[in-house]
């Protein structure tokens, strides 16, 4: 049997040591009527058969071809050195660093992660990571409720729809009201009725890809005594103004774009970075620097009195683990690229997205909202978004995240570019749009 | 005290030199960003990320890896964590599915969707449940999902306002009461009896019309099976409460008895435990939940469904609690768990629980022979709780073990046992490894008796030695301080 080391002799020796007759006898306390039920599972496969089966499944997925999909996850450059270092078996098969003397690898890497996230966001303290961007936003709202003792949350419609859904799920249980601020011309206006709000949450760039006036929103929130929570794309912070500079109290987001494969949506990781004044309200693990008995610098999990295993029902959150390994991927990746490499990725993404829109305009298309955008924008389409996406997929291009009716833009899809999009990819997309009758004119070159 | 930096392992930021870097993304010429985005949107100075060559980067993270204990390195018997071997083939399997975008057209993701659909079905079969959601990102996240569903269920029956309490045993994992609070519930703890099980009389008294749910781990955190489980389920249901199964300890019984058959209404599974997806230094975990039919209408969206023309993601769950994370779950780990189930089949999984319990009982006997005691004298399941002899502290024994290149057990949990050592060797360790572990523990006790100062000074041979955790908490240093800052 795979992965089980015992021979029949080993089993006999162990049973003798314990003083029972059989392995089944170890389970005598289980309800006899329920024991060893017939469970309908497929038969076991050897390694070759298993991998053949999985490859056959994977062959039904399409990953080749130009990719213009965004909406919270994107295909970015990940150098070979990133997984080679982050996925060393010492990191993959370790657990929570409960014994810091033998866990300096994970602990120091996490301290370096916290430092990098603090640098990117311009805020003081980052935790060791959370599940994903959406749950990080929900946890940020709960933090704001604890801090301000107010029980309403304002969220911009420009925040990713799935994030707002998760926010609603988390807050409904605690009977905290969530009010959505509608967009005006694709951007969040200064919200009214902030007076009893714990926080205002906005996303930069917003779900339409457009740039918000985050400083203005922060000012409006603070004027009413609310916190300002910035949900940010961390790669964009290589070039965009950091949340700490425009007045955010909390920065949260999803870390996939910092060096993790998309993996059909997960695992990525979420991050949360706060001002020092909010430190005691921060959920999740934290690594701190200290010294050992010999005076050597060393790292350790700290301020654990906030957490569930100490505080139980009084904890700041029930979160137990973090998303350590995916956060480590980002740590290695940011170090591999450095500030210049990260900047080049952000700049390349912005330029290719703008080149794409320029080419689309030349071909007669127009954005659903015409406003400054980062590397993603909404395109008005003739058919519903899902149909456009399928039509493009049939032509070998992955593009067109459908936009919901809540945005009032009619038929529209999001188009996104990263530094991995080539000029030729852009022409292929335009051809595919022509081929699927979304653009006028005849496709220049099929296939 | 010595000046720390002279003897300390360097930080990535100390290795940094302006202008160096390891990786170069494709470059695109074009207009300045200020013109495209507006100067007011741009940052003034770049983030101070490390600037290192590729070889410096490789050495840094390789040396850090050498400063990190792992299952691949040696035995790691943390109780309730199920630190079993993580098969290498699972990593290869996960790579086959890592390049899909979550929003690509469903007809271009049929392989992954089929795998997820089949995994939902396999996990339902293994737990005795009717429906499964693969969404939750960790065990604690599964708990929150399950408790929110129970809350929605009571509300739908008009009992939401009345049922405000969640019962947990005093030995429960900390996540159970924290989850109940996060879902807006008040927590009532019930004590354990002399056999290490839920005290039935105390449980009866705690039940009432205000109870929404009872959260149990079975086998429990003391490592014993709750033999009154059918009675507990009957009482809970008679009182109108829902019974929640914390799947942290499923490795003890997988394939042998199912939570659904025991009367549980909701179960979460820790795929990083029983189904051996890697712990990754603290995550990502994965915590799917299974429910009985009466709760299926409350599952989070989306679910993976099979339709006439293939597999699809469905939002059509009539009274769903909503979404509990973005996208569809930690798919990379779901692939690994699927590969594990398909590698072992039912017979293999039954052997897993059989050998897990065999190994735990074997190590218990060996540790008793070495001078440790157990607070509950009975056969245990996949883990057991032990105590060192009087006058010896669990923490000191744990630190001394580090010098043997072995990882300590979980220490000081459960909270209901003084000087608790919770040990879970798992089925993938050989008897020789368990013998060596018990022998090391015996030697530590012998050395402690001969030299009282020895234990307090341990460990001696680790990359760093005992840490000043008090200063770490009193004067928190939570990021690197640049000299010019």
> Residue A402: closest CA among chain B residues belongs to which residue?
B103
> How does strand A398-399 pair with strand A67-68?
parallel
Give the per-residue SS3 of chain B: CCCHHHHCCCCHHHHCCCCCCCCCCCCCCCCCHHHHHCHHHECCCCCCCCCCCHHHHHHHHHHHHHCECCCCCCCCCECCCCCCCCCHHHHHHHHCCCCCCCCCCHHHEHHHHHHHHHHHHHHHHHHCCCEEECCCCCHHHHHHHHHHHHHHHHHHCCCCCCCCEEEEECCCCCHHHHHHHHCCCEEEEECECCCCCECHHHHHHHCCCCEEEEEEECCCCCCCCCCCHHHHHHHHHHCCCEEEEEECCHHHCCCCCCHHHHCCCEEEECCCCCCCCCCCCCCCCCCCEEECHHHHHHCCCCEEEEECCEEEEECCCCCCCCCCCCCCCCHHHHHHHHHHHHHHHHHHHHHHHHHHHHHHHHHHHHHHHCCCECCCCCCCCCCEEEECCCCCCHHHHHHHHHCCCCCCCEECCCCCCCCCEEECCCCCCCHHHHHHHHHHHHHHHHHHHHCHHHHHHCCCCCCCCCECHHHHHHCCCCCCCCCCC
CB atoms under 10 Å from CB of B86, counted, come to 23
Cross-chain CB nearest to A313 (options B178, B258, B354):
B178
Alpha-carbon distances, residue A41 vs A44, B94, B300, B464 (angstroms): 9, 21, 25, 47
Q: Tokens in use for B369?
A: 């022979």
Structural domains of chain B, with CATH: 88-344 (3.40.640.10), 346-471 (3.90.1150.10)
Residue partners of A21: CB distance under 8 A and separation at least 6: A15
Q: In angstroms, how far apart are the furthest CA atoms of chain A?
A: 83
Q: Is residue B244 within 8 Å of residue B215, measured between CB atoms?
A: yes
pLDDT of residue A309: 77
B21 — contact with chain A (CB < 8 Å)? yes
Q: Which of A315-329, B250-264, B407-421 has the lowest mean pLDDT?
A: A315-329
Question: Which residues of chain A does B12 touch, with a Cβ-Cβ cutoff of 8 Å?
Answer: 112, 335
Residue of chain B nearest A339, judged by CA positions: B49
Find the CB nearest B326 among A126, A132, A337: A132
Min Cα–Cα distance to chain A from B449, Å: 23
Kindly indicate the confidence band of residue A193, based on its pLDDT and cuts at 50, 70 and 90.
confident
At A380-392, the pLDDT tens digits run 999 999 999 999 9
DSSP, res A186? T
Q: Are B207 and B369 in contact (CB under 8 A)?
A: no
- Is the Cβ–Cβ distance between B259 and B245 less than 8 Å? yes
Q: Minimal Cα distance from A296: which residue of B?
A: B4
Q: Which residues contact B32 (CB under 8 A, 6 or more apart)?
A: none
**CA angle, corner B476, sides to B471 and B479, nearest 5?**
130
Distance CA A413, CA A87 (A): 36
Q: Is A195 exposed, middle or buried (0-12, 13-18, 19+ CB in 10 A)?
A: exposed
Q: Is residue B337 scored above 90 in pLDDT?
A: yes
Chain B contacts in chain A segment 134-153 (CB below 8 A): 134-135
CB A287 within 8 A of CB A104: no
Cβ-Cβ contacts under 8 Å for A255 (sequence gap 6 or more): A129, A133, A234, A268, A269, A270, A271, A326, A327, A330
Nearest residue of chain B to residue A326 (CA atoms): B284
CB B427 within 8 A of CB B84: yes
Instruction: Evaluate whether B64 touches A108 at the Cβ level (below 8 Å).
Output: yes
| pLDDT at residue B484, as a whole number | 63
For residue A191, the SS3 value is coil
In the 8-state DSSP scheme, what is residue A246?
H
Contact indicator for A253, A113 with CB cutoff of 8 Å: no
**Locate tokens 């966001």: which residue?**
A121
pTM of the model: 0.97
Instruction: Share the mean pLDDT of chain A.
Output: 95
- Which residues of chain A lie closer than 8 angstroms to B290, CB-CB? none
Q: How far is CA B414 from the centre of its chain?
A: 16
Complex ipTM value: 0.97
Residue A341 has pLDDT above 80, yes or no: yes
| Token reading at B457 | 């000074």
Separation of alpha carbons B89 and A48, rounded Å: 10
B151: left (phi over 0), alpha (psi -120 to 50) or beta: alpha
Nearest to A101 among B125, B333, B459 (CB): B459
Residues 6+ apart with CB under 8 A from B203: B167, B190, B232, B235
Is residue A442 over pLDDT 80?
no
For the four alpha carbons of A95, A96, A99 and A102, in that order, the dihedral sign comes to: positive
Q: Which DSSP category does A212 fall into?
A: P
Contact indicator for A372, A211 with CB cutoff of 8 Å = yes
Asked if the model's pLDDT at residue B1 lies above 70, the reply is no
Mean pLDDT over B392-411 rounds to: 97
How do B310-314 and A125-126 pair as beta strands? unpaired
What separation in angstroms does the CA of B278 have from each of A333, B88, B92, B182, B399?
20, 10, 13, 27, 25
pLDDT at A85: 98
Per-window interface: A 184-203 vs B, CB < 8 A: none
Helix (H) or strand (E) segment spanning residue A430: helix A423-435
Query: What are the tens digits of pLDDT across the range A40-93?
Result: 999 999 999 999 999 999 999 999 999 999 999 999 999 999 999 999 999 999
- Residues B53 and B22: beta-carbon distance below 8 Å: yes
Residue B101 to chain A, least CA–CA distance (Å) = 5
> Taking CB atoms and an 8 Å cutoff, what residues of chain A touch B174?
307-312, 315, 320
In chain A, the residue whose alpha carbon lies closest to the alpha carbon of B77 is A95
Confidence of residue B483 (pLDDT cuts 50, 70, 90): confident
B422 or A310: whose pLDDT is higher?
B422
Least confident of A120-134, A204-218, A301-315, B178-192: A301-315
Helix axes A161-172, A133-148, angle to 10 degrees: 50
DSSP bridge pairs for B314: B303
Is-contact B203 B167, C-beta < 8 A?
Answer: yes
DSSP A253: E
Give backbone dihedrals phi and psi of B136, rounded to 5 degrees, phi first: -55, 145
Q: B408 forms bridges with which residues in the sheet?
A: none
User: Is pLDDT above 50 for B6?
Assistant: no
Answer for the pair A142, A170: CB distance below 8 angstroms, yes or no: yes
Residues of A in contact with B22 (CB under 8 A): 79, 81, 335-338
B409-447 pLDDT, tens digit per residue, is 999 998 889 999 999 999 999 999 999 999 999 999 999
Q: How far apart are CA B213 and CA B163, in angstroms?
A: 9
Q: Least CA distance to A76: which residue of chain B?
A: B25
Nearest CA-CA partner of A123 in A140, A103, A145? A140
Cis ω on the peptide bond leading into residue A267 (within 30° of 0)?
Answer: yes
pLDDT class of A443 with cuts at 50, 70, 90: low
Nearest by Cα to B274 from B414, B410, B122, B415: B122
Cβ atoms of residues A10 and B430 within 8 Å: yes
| Domains recognised in chain A with CATH numbers | 8-58 (no CATH), 81-331 (3.40.640.10)
pLDDT tens-place string over residues A28-40:
999 999 999 999 9
Residues 6+ apart with CB under 8 A from B457: none
Strand partners, A373: A210
pLDDT bucket at B462, cuts 50 / 70 / 90: very high
B313 and chain A: CB distance < 8 Å anywhere? no
pLDDT of residue A444: 64
Q: How many CB atoms lie within 10 A of CB B46?
A: 16
Report chain B residues whose CB lies below 8 A from the CB of A243. Answer: none
Q: Which of A10, A55, A77, A90 to mutate to test the interface with B (most CBs of B within 10 A)?
A: A90
Other CB atoms within a 10 A radius of the CB of residue B321 amount to 25
Q: A176 and chain B: CB distance < 8 Å anywhere?
A: no
Tell me the pLDDT band of A445, cut-offs 50, 70 and 90: low
DSSP state, residue A255: -
A residues 77-106 lying closer than 8 A (beta carbon) to B? 77, 79, 81-82, 84-106
């Amino acid at each position: 049997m795979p992965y089980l080391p015992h021979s029949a002799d080993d089993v006999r020796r162990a049973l003798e040591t314990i003083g029972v007759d059989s392995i089944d006898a170890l389970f005598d306390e289980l309800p006899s009527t329920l024991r060893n039920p017939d469970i309908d599972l497929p038969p076991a496969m050897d390694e070759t058969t298993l991998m053949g089966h999985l490859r056959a499944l994977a062959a039904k997925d399409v990953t080749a071809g130009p990719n213009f999909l965004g909406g919270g996850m994107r295909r970015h450059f990940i150098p070979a050195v990133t997984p080679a270092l982050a996925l060393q078996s010492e990191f993959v098969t370790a657990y929570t660093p409960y014994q810091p003397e033998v866990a300096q690898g994970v602990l120091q890497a996490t301290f370096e992660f916290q430092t990098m996230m603090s640098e990117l966001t311009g805020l003081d303290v980052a935790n060791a990571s959370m599940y994903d961007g959406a749950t990080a936003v929900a946890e940020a709202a709960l933090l704001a409720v604890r801090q301000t003792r107010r029980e309403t949350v304002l969220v911009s419609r420009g925040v990713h729809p799935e994030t707002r859904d998760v926010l609603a799920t988390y807050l409904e249980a605690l009977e905290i009201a969530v009010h959505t601020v509608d967009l005006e011309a694709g951007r969040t206006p200064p919200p009214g009725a902030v007076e009893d709000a714990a926080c205002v949450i906005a996303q930069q760039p917003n779900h339409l890809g457009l740039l918000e006036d985050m400083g203005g929103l922060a000012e409006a929130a603070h004027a009413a005594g609310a916190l300002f929570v910035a949900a940010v794309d961390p790669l964009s912070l290589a070039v965009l103004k950091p949340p700490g500079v425009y007045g955010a109290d909390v920065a949260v987001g999803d870390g996939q774009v910092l060096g993790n494969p998309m993996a059909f949506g997960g695992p990525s990781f979420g991050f949360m970075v706060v001002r020092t004044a909010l430190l005691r309200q921060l959920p999740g693990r934290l690594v701190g620097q200290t010294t050992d008995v010999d005076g050597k610098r060393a790292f350790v999990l700290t301020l654990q009195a906030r957490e569930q295993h100490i505080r139980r029902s009084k904890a700041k959150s029930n979160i137990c683990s973090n998303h350590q390994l995916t956060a480590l991927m980002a740590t290695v990746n940011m170090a591999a690229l450095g500030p210049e490499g990260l900047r080049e990725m952000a700049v390349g993404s912005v330029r290719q997205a703008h080149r794409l829109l320029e080419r689309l305009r030349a071909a007669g298309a127009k954005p659903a909202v015409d406003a400054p955008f980062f590397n993603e924008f909404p395109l008005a389409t003739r058919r519903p978004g899902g149909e456009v996406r399928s039509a493009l997929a049939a032509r070998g291009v992955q593009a067109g995240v459908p936009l919901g009716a809540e945005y009032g833009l009619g038929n529209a899809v999001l188009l996104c570019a990263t530094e991995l999009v080539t000029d030729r990819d852009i022409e292929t997309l335009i051809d595919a749009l022509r081929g699927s009758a979304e653009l006028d004119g005849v496709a220049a070159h099929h296939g | 005290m010595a000046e720390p930096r002279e003897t300390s392992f360097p930080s990535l930021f100390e290795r940094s030199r302006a202008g160096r870097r390891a990786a170069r993304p494709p470059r695109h010429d074009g207009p300045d960003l200020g013109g495209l985005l507006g100067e007011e949107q741009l940052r003034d100075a770049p983030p101070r990320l490390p600037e290192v060559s590729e070889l410096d980067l490789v050495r840094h993270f390789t040396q850090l890896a050498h400063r990190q204990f792992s299952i691949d390195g040696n035995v790691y018997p943390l109780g309730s964590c199920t630190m079993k071997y993580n098969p290498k083939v699972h990593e290869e399997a996960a790579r086959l599915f890592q390049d899909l975008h979550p929003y690509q057209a469903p007809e271009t993701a049929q392989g992954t969707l089929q795998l997820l659909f089949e995994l939902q079905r396999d996990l339902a079969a293994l737990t005795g449940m009717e429906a499964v959601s693969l969404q939750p990102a960790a065990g604690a996240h599964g708990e929150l999902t399950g408790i929110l569903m129970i809350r929605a269920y009571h509300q739908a029956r008009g009992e939401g306002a009345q049922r405000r309490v969640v019962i947990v045993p005093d030995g429960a994992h900390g996540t159970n009461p924290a989850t109940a609070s996060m879902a807006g519930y008040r927590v009532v703890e019930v004590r354990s009896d002399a056999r290490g099980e839920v005290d039935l009389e105390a449980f009866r008294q705690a039940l009432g019309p205000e109870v929404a749910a009872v959260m149990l781990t079975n086998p429990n955190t003391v490592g014993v099976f709750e033999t009154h489980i059918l009675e507990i389920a009957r009482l809970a249901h008679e009182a109108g409460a829902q019974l929640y199964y914390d799947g942290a300890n499923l490795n003890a019984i997988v394939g042998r008895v199912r939570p659904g058959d025991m009367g549980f209404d909701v179960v979460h599974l820790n795929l990083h435990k029983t189904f051996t997806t890697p712990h990754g230094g603290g995550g990502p975990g994965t915590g799917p939940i299974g429910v009985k039919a009466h709760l299926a209408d409350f599952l989070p969206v989306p679910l993976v469904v099979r339709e006439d023309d293939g597999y699809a993601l469905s939002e059509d769950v009539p009274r769903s609690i909503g979404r509990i994370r973005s996208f569809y779950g930690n798919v990379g780990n779901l692939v690994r768990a699927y590969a594990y189930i398909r590698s072992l089949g039912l017979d293999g999984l039954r052997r897993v629980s059989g050998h897990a319990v065999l190994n735990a009982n074997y190590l218990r006997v060996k540790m008793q022979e070495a001078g440790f005691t157990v607070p509950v004298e009975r056969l245990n399941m996949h883990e057991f709780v032990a105590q060192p002899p009087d006058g010896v502290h669990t923490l000191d024994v744990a630190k001394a073990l580090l010098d043997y290149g072995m990882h300590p057990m979980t220490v000081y949990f459960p909270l209901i046992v003084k000087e608790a050592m919770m040990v879970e060797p798992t089925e993938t360790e050989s008897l020789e490894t368990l013998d060596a572990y018990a022998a090391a523990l015996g030697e530590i006790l012998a050395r402690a008796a001969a030299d009282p100062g020895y234990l307090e000074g341990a460990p001696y041979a680790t990359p760093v030695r005992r840490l000043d955790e008090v200063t770490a908490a009193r004067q928190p240093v939570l990021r690197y301080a640049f000299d010019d800052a």
